[in-house]
Chain A
């Protein structure tokens, strides 16, 4: 999220597209409701009429997998009707940048496509640079090669008729959505865009989000209170686990994973530290060396020295894709022999889960760490298999639930909040930290005796104050993530924030973006100096666990007009406790807010003894406003998007693998041909199983999977909770009355849903909430299946993921769960 949960209340328009926020983030609706009470209009765009739709003011349906066409049409609407915040776009985006003449777009492909590699050469999309290496800009935005004109040209093809024909959106509804949403181009009107897995779980998921970003930038809604592009994370701590690099392609704090050619730290830093010759660019990632070295120091402590490259060579340097799908392909192929499964249930949650269940049987050993005996832990005795034929040795370690242990959770709004154990874990259940510590101790002991490349384990820092019961003090972990001085006169002291991290080995920080979340008491200020459980003692020092702070802002002390809910002393928010990122874009060149009645930050010339200072949220870069009070540019200032080398936001982005602009392609399995180009699906995705793609003549119905409020992910927790099972006992398929009538299906009937990959049984829920789509001149049916069920637990049923394909997004490899083809038949009663 660029913004945060309670900030939604500030919006004039709340767009919920690609998310069933009300269903899956019920608490979000508290803030949406508050926005509504303030007069906001709520829009719901979804293939299904959901609980979110029931909560919304306007609804427009769209076929699964056509988001880029849908939003592309909105971008076109904004551009054609000049509903653009031109000042914002001119100065805070790369609209004015010229792109080099090699860039081109033809027949659905951008310049630089290599059909053999199924990849682009992104250098064809580079900016045109001047002699200093600074991009050339045309501030009039009229140059035919400037990004603004390229954008206009690209999206001109997304006219109303084409879009409605692709998406199946009723024209009247679609126009209403376009009109209401783009009305926020006015500087004083703000819209927020809420999305989730409905956006990301496509072969073009990243580009889906890009369309939101482009539209929000055109309307000037980024950085504003009540604005932004907001990913509603699917689990309470998904944000935290992403920050801490639970993914294969990043290290903590979004540092890049070393690639095999980068054998030395210097090579790594050279490759991964962006450079900018533009003096007005903050280019924050130029600090990468400090963050990388501090990370290595956190991991290997005193073993990491300048002389040994801070143990850089201990880091694995994987080649290629190690995402979820490819991991399971590797297990299936027999390359991976063992699997540690912490709180995850791939036998239900993984795509094409039949194959993943078979893959589990090819493991030598499997360790499941979970609250219940999950479907994954019982894969060897699932219905229809002979346990004696499965050789995998399976261990189930009982884990403590989140309420049974202390620790932090980072929510979608990047707030890291400390939680305490509310109850003791039952029986032998242990916290994850205990289990991992135990594992580390054992591995260290084993490697002491020798083995291949023992140092990374033997030298691993594990000074977390483990108690007599083997439980590490999780406060020590939090303090290390924040970081402290490892040498010098400040040795042992918590580092103030990431601006103080160093690349000489004098500091450590387990995740640089959290630096400053755990402070020395001596560095504290304001309410945090008050007594409370946030005052702790770590490594013999009096410290403040800022994640544990619980001080609400006094409404009477909020300056007039400032947005509510910043609450700087309620928990802690990365980076630097900044609640709304890109907030420098919420003000004009003088530092005055676009929307004075909900400003986030503003420049107050009277502060700091007349030198002026920012007030409000922590500004995204503390430099003064772009212009001096007399209107001349201030050379000491920096552009507002400091994480970009350009210093501005990218309408045209070179970093993605599948094109600088989003382009509509059909999902891998689609009932229709792409109306916009001959390129049927995303040209750079990897198709794992080409022979498992369904033919629309055989599988004519579009299907999507989703979650319901009553069940949680793969169901391990909720399908074992009787009160929730009562609400949602059986797996079901939702289908339109129209389709049901044609198939002779009634509510409650058992039906079989089949794809090229598998078949599942479910109960039919015939409902008016589903309607067929009129797409490209023909009627297309869509059904929906929640995927929570499996064979373990109180409520059992087939997992919808036996149907889903093994294919992922071109950039993130997230599986395409949301759009695939199937067939539905009524199950004959025997």
Chain B
């Protein structure tokens, strides 16, 4: 099975938020109680939440001295080697071969380490429930399984969200940038971020101006940072067992000679 990806072409986004509502509709997530607006422009809610897995952000930016109103999108990036998965102690998160990072709620113990591990600050926790779960975008794995495309991509009127095989999406993104080199910054967000993701973004303005986490996201998978330490476990165990055992033996042998006669075993 090929790995799929979403390509988010931000210059094509017009901020209609059809994706945001389609997502809530697909998963029957509750509306949040909002007041006025949560950011520049019409953004609401403020942030991703346990009920908001897909969020369009509104950004008023100056590009070369000219004002522009530019939209961004936040959701799970569906890393190729996801930090949340390497973090989870009970394998409640799983990377499907088709791309989605899905969550098995029945396995979850609620340690929230996945939230800490996520470089994109995506997983959300139901802090207000006695029986809480992690929630986040699933790239509509259940829809993909039926041969449908994710709800957000389906809802998008302008083709700002397209869905397909990741390789093809990467080529498409490169092509769009090459066809309109002045219309895009020459960077595919998600191509290398966190070791590569299954959600790719291209933009007309630098990503940091849209509030994307840029410098802080490593280009290596998150697991690369814990792996060396985890690899050290057997060395520590073997080494300690050997050193402690040997050391103890040597010390007691030295001590035993004079102490022997004192009647260790009476």
CA distance A747 to B99 in the complex (A): 41
Contact residues in A for B148 (Cβ distance below 8 Å): none
User: B17, A710: Cβ atoms under 8 Å?
Assistant: yes
Contact residues in B for A52 (Cβ distance below 8 Å): 14
Known: A29-B157, A730-B35, A763-B36. A51 touches B15 (CB 8 A): yes
Closest chain-A Cβ to B38's Cβ sits at a distance in Å of: 10
- Is the C-beta of A728 less than 8 angstroms from some C-beta in chain B? yes
Number of contact residues on A: which range applies?
20 to 34
User: A51, B14: Cβ atoms under 8 Å?
Assistant: yes
- Is the C-beta of B138 less than 8 angstroms from some C-beta in chain A? no
- Is the C-beta of A49 less than 8 angstroms from some C-beta in chain B? yes
Known: A29-B157, A708-B42, A723-B21. A748 touches B36 (CB 8 A): yes
CA distance A710 to B16 in the complex (A): 8
Q: Scan residues 15-57 of chain B and give those whose CB is less than 8 A from a CB of chain A.
A: 15-18, 20-21, 24-25, 30-37, 40-42, 44-45
Contact residues in B for A732 (Cβ distance below 8 Å): 36-37
Mind listing 16 A-B residue pairs with CB under 8 Å? A26-B158, A33-B159, A51-B15, A53-B69, A54-B15, A709-B16, A723-B25, A727-B21, A728-B44, A730-B36, A732-B36, A732-B37, A748-B36, A767-B60, A768-B60, A768-B67
User: A29, B69: Cβ atoms under 8 Å?
Assistant: no
Question: Per a CB cutoff under 8 Å, which of A26, A32, A763, A768 touches B16?
Answer: A26
User: A54, B68: Cβ atoms under 8 Å?
Assistant: yes
User: B12, A54: Cβ atoms under 8 Å?
Assistant: no
Known: A26-B16, A26-B157, A33-B12. A49 touches B69 (CB 8 A): yes
- Is the C-beta of B133 less than 8 angstroms from some C-beta in chain A? no
Contact residues in B for A747 (Cβ distance below 8 Å): 37
Known: A22-B14, A709-B16, A769-B69. A729 touches B157 (CB 8 A): no
Question: Per a CB cutoff under 8 Å, which of A26, A54, A709, A726 touches B32?
Answer: A726
Of chain A, the residue at the smallest CB distance from B160 is: A33
Contact residues in B for A763 (Cβ distance below 8 Å): 36
Of chain B, the residue at the smallest CB distance from A725 is: B31
CA distance A30 to B161 in the complex (A): 12
Closest chain-B Cβ to A26's Cβ sits at a distance in Å of: 4
Question: Per a CB cutoff under 8 Å, which of B30, B41, B45, B71 touches A722?
Answer: B30
User: A29, B36: Cβ atoms under 8 Å?
Assistant: no
CA distance A165 to B35 in the complex (A): 40
Contact residues in A for B40 (Cβ distance below 8 Å): 767
- Is the C-beta of B70 less than 8 angstroms from some C-beta in chain A? yes
Q: Scan residues 84-137 of chain A and give those whose CB is less than 8 A from a CB of chain B.
A: none
Q: Scan residues 34-66 of chain A and give those whose CB is less than 8 A from a CB of chain B.
A: 49, 51-55
Question: Per a CB cutoff under 8 Å, which of A22, A26, A53, A727 touches B44?
Answer: A727
- Is the C-beta of A23 less than 8 angstroms from some C-beta in chain B? yes
Known: A29-B157, A726-B44. A709 touches B36 (CB 8 A): no
Closest chain-A Cβ to B111's Cβ sits at a distance in Å of: 30
Among B32, B33, B158, the most chain A Cβ lie within 10 Å of the Cβ of B158
Contact residues in A for B32 (Cβ distance below 8 Å): 726
Closest chain-A Cβ to B103's Cβ sits at a distance in Å of: 22
- Is the C-beta of A724 less than 8 angstroms from some C-beta in chain B? yes
Contact residues in A for B158 (Cβ distance below 8 Å): 26, 29-30, 32-33
Question: Per a CB cutoff under 8 Å, which of A22, A49, A55, A729 touches B35?
Answer: A729
CA distance A71 to B16 in the complex (A): 29
Residue pairs across A and B with CB atoms within 8 Å: the count is 87
Contact residues in A for B16 (Cβ distance below 8 Å): 22-23, 26, 29, 51, 709
Contact residues in B for A727 (Cβ distance below 8 Å): 17, 20-21, 34, 42, 44
Contact residues in A for B17 (Cβ distance below 8 Å): 709-710, 727
CA distance A727 to B12 in the complex (A): 20
CA distance A26 to B70 in the complex (A): 16
Contact residues in A for B68 (Cβ distance below 8 Å): 54
CA distance A747 to B41 in the complex (A): 10
- Is the C-beta of A13 less than 8 angstroms from some C-beta in chain B? no
- Is the C-beta of A765 less than 8 angstroms from some C-beta in chain B? yes
The proximity string for B residues 161-194 relative to A, scoring 1 for CB distances below 8 Å and 0 otherwise, is 0000000000000000000000000000000000
Known: A29-B14, A30-B157. A726 touches B45 (CB 8 A): yes
List residues of A whose CB falls within 8 A of some B CB.
Answer: 22-23, 26-27, 29-30, 32-33, 49, 51-55, 708-710, 722-730, 732, 747-748, 763, 765, 767-769
Total interface residues on B, CB under 8 Å, equals: 32
User: B21, A724: Cβ atoms under 8 Å?
Assistant: yes
Closest chain-B Cβ to A43's Cβ sits at a distance in Å of: 16
Q: Which 9 residue pairs are nearest across A and B when measured between Cβ atoms? A: A722-B31, A726-B31, A26-B16, A54-B69, A33-B158, A22-B14, A30-B157, A27-B157, A763-B36
Other than the given A29-B157, A710-B42, 14 more pairs (CB < 8 A) read A23-B16, A26-B16, A26-B158, A29-B14, A30-B158, A33-B12, A49-B67, A54-B70, A54-B71, A708-B42, A727-B17, A729-B36, A748-B36, A767-B40
Closest chain-A Cβ to B61's Cβ sits at a distance in Å of: 10
Of chain A, the residue at the smallest CB distance from B37 is: A765
Contact residues in B for A22 (Cβ distance below 8 Å): 14, 16
Of chain A, the residue at the smallest CB distance from B44 is: A727
Contact residues in A for B42 (Cβ distance below 8 Å): 708, 710, 727-728
Contact residues in A for B41 (Cβ distance below 8 Å): 767
Contact residues in B for A55 (Cβ distance below 8 Å): 14
Of chain B, the residue at the smallest CB distance from A36 is: B12
Of chain B, the residue at the smallest CB distance from A749 is: B36
CA distance A726 to B32 in the complex (A): 6
CA distance A49 to B40 in the complex (A): 14
Closest chain-A Cβ to B52's Cβ sits at a distance in Å of: 8
Question: Per a CB cutoff under 8 Å, which of B44, B70, B159 touches A729?
Answer: B44
CA distance A728 to B71 in the complex (A): 16
Among A22, A51, A727, A769, the most chain B Cβ lie within 10 Å of the Cβ of A727
Closest chain-B Cβ to A483's Cβ sits at a distance in Å of: 36
CA distance A29 to B34 in the complex (A): 28
Of chain A, the residue at the smallest CB distance from B22 is: A723
User: B34, A726: Cβ atoms under 8 Å?
Assistant: yes
Closest chain-A Cβ to B80's Cβ sits at a distance in Å of: 29
Contact residues in A for B14 (Cβ distance below 8 Å): 22-23, 26, 29, 51-52, 54-55
Known: A725-B31, A768-B60. A26 touches B18 (CB 8 A): yes
The proximity string for B residues 146-162 relative to A, scoring 1 for CB distances below 8 Å and 0 otherwise, is 00000000000111000
Known: A26-B16, A26-B157. A769 touches B36 (CB 8 A): no
Closest chain-A Cβ to B193's Cβ sits at a distance in Å of: 25
CA distance A295 to B73 in the complex (A): 53
Closest chain-A Cβ to B22's Cβ sits at a distance in Å of: 10
Q: Scan residues 63-83 of chain B and give those whose CB is less than 8 A from a CB of chain A.
A: 67-71
Of chain A, the residue at the smallest CB distance from B43 is: A727
Of chain B, the residue at the smallest CB distance from A729 is: B34
Known: A26-B16, A54-B69. A723 touches B157 (CB 8 A): no
CA distance A30 to B13 in the complex (A): 10
Among B35, B44, B69, the most chain A Cβ lie within 10 Å of the Cβ of B69
Of chain A, the residue at the smallest CB distance from B29 is: A723
Contact residues in A for B67 (Cβ distance below 8 Å): 49, 768-769
Question: Per a CB cutoff under 8 Å, which of A23, A708, A709, A769 touches B60?
Answer: A769
CA distance A723 to B158 in the complex (A): 21
Contact residues in A for B33 (Cβ distance below 8 Å): 726
CA distance A699 to B1 in the complex (A): 66
CA distance A768 to B69 in the complex (A): 9
Closest chain-A Cβ to B163's Cβ sits at a distance in Å of: 16
Contact residues in B for A728 (Cβ distance below 8 Å): 42, 44
CA distance A49 to B66 in the complex (A): 12
Among A53, A723, A725, A732, the most chain B Cβ lie within 10 Å of the Cβ of A723
